[in-house]
């Protein structure tokens, strides 16, 4: 199963402009990335300042099941293409690793999510900070399980807070089958099984994109959230205080971004574009605030759909968000 639906990244994905062959401070990411194979038993933990481990989740099966517009299967490739030319904003003791892709073909969605969980656990075992490239937002279920399985080896009762930048709660029932709209309902049930807290905070929720039933479910599960409309109108200090209170109760934070949280003017290449979404500047302000807690253990960005994009705007924005993430992590080390 692992070898069938896991592939290392093609070397041709990482190429681009070269300003210098010997001056590291003129390097771009494609000159500094190292491909790794998660099936390699000789993999050893990274021991320098900071190691970043990228892995793609090539799937939009969850979007299809959720009756959304497909196309996110090719998201990881598009994001890599835009990341390739990013400048190295760090010193040589920071290293980038590409761990390849999980491919959702000729297997069930559950199987690909299980495989993703194994991969995330391996990346964390290698002392790397995981950055996952979507793919549909169903990436979140496998990602969370990978973090949980890793932490269970180090603590009896992991305390993981989920912060989701999203226009949707993704708390739909999954009686028949799971999708890109059910992940956090599934995670809440796993938390019950594991006897751990379900700690979930959504940023950018849209009233017109969630039924009253979903708001009811969110309240029943003690979900914290910030409406997108309040991010433009309310006093920022009140919203950040609400977020700070949530963060203070967590030992670890897992951040996931569904790109439909962003206004369609900035992120047109998603399954469900949001005309009233938040701006990238607001997202980055909140993202950096969370990162500065030093509790973030893992990150993903989902729902990048190249075939629905305009002039690669959405994949370029995803790469820019990842750049800011890496830059902030490096400055805190």
Q: What is the pLDDT of residue 24?
A: 97
CB 287 within 8 A of CB 243: no
* pLDDT tens sequence across 110-138: 999 999 999 999 999 999 999 999 999 99
Confidence tier at 296 by pLDDT (50, 70, 90): very high
The pTM of this model reads: 0.97
Taking the CB of residue 305, how many other CB atoms lie within 10 A of it? 29
Q: What is the pLDDT of residue 236?
A: 85
Q: What is the pLDDT of residue 16?
A: 96
pLDDT, average across residues 286-294: 97
pLDDT, average across residues 290-316: 98
Residues 111, 62: Cα–Cα separation, whole Å: 12
pLDDT exceeds 90 at position 174? yes
Per the prediction, the chain carries an average pLDDT of 96
pLDDT exceeds 90 at position 237? no
**DSSP structure string for 135-174:** SSTTHHHHHHHHHHHHHHTT-SS--EEEEEE-SS------
Query: In terms of Cα–Cα distance, which of 180, 325, 185, 327 is closest to 255?
Result: 325
* pLDDT tens sequence across 24-77: 999 999 999 999 999 999 999 999 999 999 999 999 999 999 999 999 999 999
Query: In terms of Cα–Cα distance, which of 27, 138, 136, 145 is closest to 89?
Result: 27
Residues 308, 148: Cα–Cα separation, whole Å: 33
Confidence tier at 200 by pLDDT (50, 70, 90): very high
Residues 2, 40: Cα–Cα separation, whole Å: 12
Domains assigned to the chain: 2-332 (3.40.800.10)
Confidence tier at 2 by pLDDT (50, 70, 90): low
* pLDDT tens sequence across 133-167: 999 999 999 999 999 999 999 998 999 999 999 99
Q: What is the pLDDT of residue 81?
A: 97
* pLDDT tens sequence across 254-286: 999 999 999 999 999 999 999 999 999 999 999
């Amino acid at each position: 199963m692992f070898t069938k639906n896991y592939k290392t990244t093609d070397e041709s994905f990482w190429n681009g402009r070269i300003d210098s062959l010997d001056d590291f401070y003129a390097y771009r990411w494609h000159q500094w990335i190292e491909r790794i194979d998660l099936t390699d038993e000789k993999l050893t933990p990274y021991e320098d300042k900071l190691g970043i481990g990228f892995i793609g989740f090539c799937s939009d099966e969850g979007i299809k099941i959720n009756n959304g517009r497909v196309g996110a299967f090719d998201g990881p490739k598009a994001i890599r293409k835009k990341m390739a030319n990013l400048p190295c904003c760090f010193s040589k003791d920071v290293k980038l690793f590409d761990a390849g892709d999980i491919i959702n073909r000729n297997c069930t969605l559950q199987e690909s999510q299980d495989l993703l969980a194994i991969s995330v656990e391996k990346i964390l075992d290698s002392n790397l900070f995981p950055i996952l490239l979507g793919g549909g937002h169903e990436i979140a279920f496998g990602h969370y399980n990978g973090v949980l399985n890793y932490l269970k080896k180090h603590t009896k009762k992991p305390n993981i807070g989920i912060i989701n930048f999203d226009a949707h709660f993704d708390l739909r029932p999954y009686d028949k089958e799971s999708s890109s709209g059910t992940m956090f309902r599934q995670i809440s049930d796993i938390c019950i099984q594991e006897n751990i807290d379900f700690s979930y905070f959504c940023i950018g929720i849209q009233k017109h994109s969630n039924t009253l039933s979903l708001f009811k479910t969110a309240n029943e599960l003690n979900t914290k959230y910030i409406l997108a409309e309040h991010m433009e109108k309310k006093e920022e200090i009140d919203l950040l205080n609400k977020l700070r209170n949530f963060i203070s109760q967590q030992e670890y934070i897992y951040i996931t971004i569904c790109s439909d949280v962003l206004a369609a003017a900035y992120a047109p290449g998603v399954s469900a574009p949001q005309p009233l979404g938040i701006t990238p500047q607001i997202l980055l302000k909140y993202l950096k605030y969370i990162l500065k807690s030093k509790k973030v253990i893992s990150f993903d960005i989902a729902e990048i759909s190249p075939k629905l994009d305009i002039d690669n705007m959405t994949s370029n924005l995803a790469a820019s968000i990842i750049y800011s993430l890496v830059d902030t992590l490096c400055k805190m080390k």
